Structure 1
Amino acid sequence: MSLFPSLSHPWLLAPLALAIEAVIGYPPRLFAAIGHPVTWIGSLIAWTDRNFNRLHDSFATRRLAGFLILTALLFFVFLVASFVQDLLLHGGMPFVIGFPLLALCASSLLAQRSLHDHVQAVGDALANEGIEAGRSAVARIVGRDVTQLDEAGILRAAVESLAENFSDGIVAPAFWLALGGLPGLCLYKTINTADSMIGHRTERHEAFGFSAAKLDDVVNWPAARLAALWLCGAAALLSYTSPELSARRAFAITRRDARGHPSPNAGWPEAAMAGALGRRLGGPRAYAGTIIEDKWIGDGMAPMTQTDLGRALTLYRLACFLNGAGLTLLCLVIALA
């Protein structure tokens, strides 16, 4: 009996895709040539928003329209992803070629390398070109108004983005890839992209994007807790060589502050990161000229520094490894069961 059928289980697909993405990322030349799967999905969502989110309709009608459009979009994405997965695994191609190609396709929807590079770019811009360059760099990864941020504020925004996107850019997509193969991954990315585009409490999107926002909360629930666990685990391992990092503090702040975040999920990795570093994250911030009085997460009163950003990136790298190792261990257990 061949070992390949058991190894074709989606659980093995996730660690392989994570490994591929960590090594090669998504090549800029490929992006310039054909774009990115998320941009394709985003274009579909933007088209539905323009054509079906009619402001003159009632609130209830627009909420129903949003639900129906999201359902249709998810069904379409599921069919396409299922076709690609079935073609690569069962379309006559040798398994040793088809399965790695499937993992390569899946790797395009993971963001370990790109997130690391974007956050590192914030520190590099501040160090080499000054505060205006730092603001421009951090504006690429956060939605808040960055024009009044000082150096500590820029670094704090970068660390917050690193923690939150570790959950919904790496842990969550890998989790759903492991559970449902390429279709599971694509469904998650569609929901997450829809939430980021239309899941806002604005006059235009509060009704139409309601389903996307609520469904995104549901699909990110397990990954947010796992992301906090991996960050705490990384802090525990690194504390032997970097006593400034504390797993005990990370666990304590996560238990105390994670639920105080406006999002039911984002607070978990942010609290773990804040506790591990001994710094505060969150707090008041400006969006389109409006001040949002979010609660502070963590106890550290010292301003965020470049050293803290470096430690956060080290935590992130090890947490990514723990995430991949956990999925690998689980897939081996399943394959051998």
Structure 2
Amino acid sequence: MGIGGTLVVACVALLADAAVGYPDRLFRMVGHPVTWIGALIGRLDRQLNPDTGRPSLPDRRRRLNGVLALVLLAGLPTLLAWVLQRACLAMLPHAVGLVLLGVVAGSLSAQRSLFTHVRDVLHALEQGGIDAGRQAVSRIVGRDPQSLDAPAIVRAAIESLAENFSDGVVAPLLWCAVLGLPGMVFYKAVNTADSMIGHLSPRHAAFGWASARLDDLVNLPASRLSAGWLVLAAVVTQAASPRAALTTVLRDAGRHRSPNAGWPEAAMAGALGLRLAGPRSYGGCIVEDAWMGDGRADASPSDLRRALRLYRRACTIQGVALLALAAMLCG
């Protein structure tokens, strides 16, 4: 399948996700592709990375086992996606096969669900106060919720919106546009592995090393692209500054502890006139991260509402760009 076909699949995926997302009833019946990948990661973690209750492994062995686990957890789902793609295109009319692949790929995009989860934080904070806001934001961030006051809850939700716009929306569609369904599945497998085992805990620092490094690599182009979409979205969003967004990206993105998360977070911070990131508490430990932006730290629910508006326009701009590119190459 050429680039024209992969772009069509990406466009259908974007439209399917925006229209219906992943139905809750379907999730209750069969789960979700990411939960299937997560189950495989959990099994490999238990088998190849024994915890402290079993014979200890040296870090060198854990790192090698982590590489093996990454090959298996990325390779097997990607192979299945490749077989499915070949079968659809061989057994169905070409256009029908592309649409079917796009609908399947739509389940791996988080455009609709990300908006819903962040909007839930806004509603919880406005209707239930700080305790409800803490509970809602704890579903989308890993930091200690009890350490968050109202402005910190809003900042955490906006940071999650920015970062997940890159790795939950832009990156999957980018890999789909380039490599079709197998590319999208490969990306989601790597990204899910990083979220589950790619952190610096005593158990996973060595075992998850390969997953974390590969995740940094596969997210690199999308993080820059997502910052660009947010800057462009600020042009057409009231009370957002595209100039400040671009300036903040160029100045602050490289100061983030993540090589990728700083790009969309800096763009969002600059566009909204806020300060994001900064020191945060995870599991009782303070992570001294740099601030993104030089605006206000006392974010309010109205800022979260503006962030959601900016996010929706960035998604729209990305969709228009994909559709235009597909029309140009397929026309």
Do they fold alike, i.e. is TM over 0.5? Answer: yes
Query: Shift of the alpha carbon at 1:95?
Result: 3.3
- 8 Å contact 1:13–1:178 — kept in the other structure? yes
Query: Shift of the alpha carbon at 1:128?
Result: 1.1
* TM-score normalised to structure 2 length: 0.96
- Cα distance in 2 between the residues matched to 1:96 and 1:13: 10
For 1:117, the equivalent position in structure 2 comes to 116
Q: Is 2:162 aligned against 1:167?
A: no
- Cα distance in 2 between the residues matched to 1:261 and 1:306: 25
Q: Runs in 1 of length 4+ with deviation above 4 angstroms? A: 5-8
- Cα distance in 1 between the residues matched to 2:4 and 2:322: 14
Q: Is 2:17 aligned against 1:21?
A: yes
- 8 Å contact 1:6–1:335 — kept in the other structure? no
When structure 1 is superposed on structure 2, of 16-25 and 73-82 the one drifting more is 73-82
For 2:58, the equivalent position in structure 1 comes to 58
What code does the residue aligned with 1:300 have? G
- Cα distance in 1 between the residues matched to 2:17 and 2:64: 37
Q: Is 2:254 aligned against 1:259?
A: yes
User: What do the CA deviations read for 1:224-264 (whole angstroms, capped 9, x no partner)?
Assistant: 000000000000122xxx2x310000000000000010000
3-state SS in 2 of match to 1:204: coil
Q: Which structure 2 residues correspond to residues 44-55 of structure 1 after superposition, within 5 A?
A: 44-54=40-50
- Cα distance in 2 between the residues matched to 1:87 and 1:204: 40
User: What do the CA deviations read for 1:90-143 (whole angstroms, capped 9, x no partner)?
Assistant: 12x233433222111000000110000000000101111121111110000001
- Cα distance in 2 between the residues matched to 1:310 and 1:287: 26
- 8 Å contact 2:231–2:267 — kept in the other structure? yes
- Cα distance in 2 between the residues matched to 1:72 and 1:307: 45
Pair 1:226–1:8, CA change in 2 (3 A): closer
Query: Shift of the alpha carbon at 1:54?
Result: 3.0
- 8 Å contact 2:154–2:304 — kept in the other structure? yes
Q: Which structure 2 residues correspond to residues 167-206 of structure 1 after superposition, within 5 A?
A: 167-206=166-205
For 1:33, the equivalent position in structure 2 comes to 29
3-state SS in 1 of match to 2:286: strand
3-state SS in 2 of match to 1:291: strand
- 8 Å contact 1:8–1:99 — kept in the other structure? no
- Cα distance in 2 between the residues matched to 1:302 and 1:131: 17
Q: Superposition RMSD on alpha carbons, in Å?
A: 1.3
- 8 Å contact 2:151–2:297 — kept in the other structure? no
Q: Which structure 2 residues correspond to residues 296-307 of structure 1 after superposition, within 5 A?
A: 296-307=291-302
3-state SS in 2 of match to 1:119: helix
- Cα distance in 2 between the residues matched to 1:109 and 1:158: 21
Q: Is 2:68 aligned against 1:68?
A: yes
* TM-score normalised to structure 1 length: 0.94
Match of 1:295 among 290, 315, 325: 290
- Cα distance in 2 between the residues matched to 1:278 and 1:68: 45
3-state SS in 2 of match to 1:286: strand
For 2:320, the equivalent position in structure 1 comes to 325
What code does the residue aligned with 1:135 have? R
Unaligned runs of 5+ in 2: none
What code does the residue aligned with 2:137 have? V
For 2:99, the equivalent position in structure 1 comes to 100
For 2:306, the equivalent position in structure 1 comes to 311
- Cα distance in 1 between the residues matched to 2:118 and 2:252: 24
Query: Shift of the alpha carbon at 1:302?
Result: 4.9
What code does the residue aligned with 1:81 have? A
What code does the residue aligned with 1:12 have? V
User: What do the CA deviations read for 1:174-220 (whole angstroms, capped 9, x no partner)?
Assistant: 00000110000000000000000000111100111000000000000
- 8 Å contact 2:4–2:326 — kept in the other structure? no
For 2:8, the equivalent position in structure 1 comes to 12
- 8 Å contact 1:152–1:304 — kept in the other structure? yes
- 8 Å contact 2:4–2:329 — kept in the other structure? no
**Identity, % of aligned pairs?**
52
3-state SS in 2 of match to 1:9: helix
Number of positions where the alignment pairs a residue of Structure 1 with one of Structure 2: 327
User: What do the CA deviations read for 1:268-310 (whole angstroms, capped 9, x no partner)?
Assistant: 0000000000000001111011111111110112511111111
When structure 1 is superposed on structure 2, of 126-135 and 264-273 the one drifting more is 126-135
For 1:89, the equivalent position in structure 2 comes to 89
